[in-house]
A = this chain, B = another copy of it.
Amino acid sequence: MTEKRKIAVLGTGLMGAPMARNLLKAGHTVVVWNRSADKAEALAGNGAQVAASPADAVSGADVIVTMLADGFATGPLIEDSVVQAAVSPGAVWVDMSSAKPEHAREQGAVLAAIGIAHLDAPVSGGTKGAEAGTLAIMVGGTEEAFAKVRDVLEAMGRPVHVGPSGTGQLSKLANQTIVAVTIGAVAEAMLLVQQGGADPAAVRAALKGGFADSTILQQHGERMTEGNFEPGGLTKFQIKDLDNTLSEAGRLGLSLPSTQDVRDRFVHLMEKMDGGELDHSALYLELKARNGMMS
């Protein structure tokens, strides 16, 4: 049984809007705010209350959900003294934006200093997952805060508590790193079989269900050999994620050779070829160029 709560949703863009609708469907009271007001007002028809300011939205809320571009966008809201004064004691602030782990830790500390719990809870699954309520939700913060909002998060997807503050964002970076390096692996496999005279689509079908299989092999592999690089996931965002991964690895004193290598190759792709605006499966083009196959 889900206890009905009053939930503020700040940031009702492509992801935040369907997430707010799923909270409404679950029976919660939802107050929305968005920097461009029209995107918040569009949710009134779904039963949301529209707030005139972030402080109005968070006032009296049991749970505050932020879904913004990154930690640079979330920070000023969390640090705003008017917003801080409006937050109820006992509220939990759940930042579902994708951000640097250091931003999560800093913002968690800012809220902890005034007695407000904070969770970093970035998601994976895209707009489809947001609409279907099937997002993977990686949650960092205290067990206690997680227990208070778990049922709320379940209206939007599948929340898993992974560790202390910042580790939700760290898990998202780990996710993005695996995606990037696997794209590199699939690119080499696809180029090899194609140049060797095999039918890449038949090879993907043959490998289905085995140890080499993945969504990246089936979806990105098809994009590569079909030459379809419409985004999807932009290479410039892939680079941002990889830079954040390497920055956090550096803080931990870790060298991650495959991550570093694929990051450098994505940068080469962006600077010399795609301007950052193609799908990240376009790493295939970088591999072809490296092999003298892009005239």
A107 contacts chain B at the CB level, 8 A cutoff = no
A43 contacts chain B at the CB level, 8 A cutoff = no
In the complex the two chains form, is B210's CB within 8 Å of A192's CB?
A: no
Known: A171-B193, A192-B174, A245-B192. A137 touches B198 (CB 8 A): no
Chain A contacts with B in 146-189, Cβ cutoff 8 A: 158, 160-164, 166-167, 170-171, 173-182, 184-186, 188-189
In the complex the two chains form, is A181's CB within 8 Å of B170's CB?
A: no
* Stretch from A1-9, A32-40, A248-256 forming part of the interface with B: A248-256
A209 contacts chain B at the CB level, 8 A cutoff = yes
Query: In which size bucket is the chain A interface?
Result: 35 or more
Count identical subunits in the complex.
2
In the complex the two chains form, is A198's CB within 8 Å of B213's CB?
A: no
Question: A284: shortest Cβ distance to chain B, in Å?
Answer: 12
| A166 CA / B198 CA spacing, docked (Å) | 9
A203 contacts chain B at the CB level, 8 A cutoff = yes
Name which of A136, A258, A261 has the most chain B CB atoms within 10 A of its CB.
Answer: A258
**Chain B residue nearest to A169 in the complex (CB):** B196
* Stretch from A47-55, A74-82, A214-222, A270-278 forming part of the interface with B: A214-222
Known: A161-B202, A181-B184, A191-B254. A196 touches B212 (CB 8 A): no
| A191 CA / B170 CA spacing, docked (Å) | 11
**Chain B residue nearest to A265 in the complex (CB):** B257
In the complex the two chains form, is B256's CB within 8 Å of A188's CB?
A: yes
Contacts of A94 in B (CB 8 A): none
Question: A40: shortest Cβ distance to chain B, in Å?
Answer: 28
For the A-B complex with A185-B258, A188-B257, A191-B256 known, give 8 more contacts whose Cβ atoms are closer than 8 Å.
A163-B197, A163-B198, A167-B198, A174-B212, A177-B192, A181-B258, A188-B258, A192-B252
9 contacts between A and B (CB under 8 A): A166-B196, A174-B192, A177-B189, A181-B258, A182-B185, A188-B256, A192-B249, A210-B215, A211-B216
Where the two chains meet, the residues of A that have a C-beta atom closer than 8 Å to any C-beta of B are 101, 124-125, 136-140, 158, 160-164, 166-167, 170-171, 173-182, 184-186, 188-193, 195-199, 202-203, 205-217, 245, 248-249, 252-259, 261-262, 265, 287, 290-291
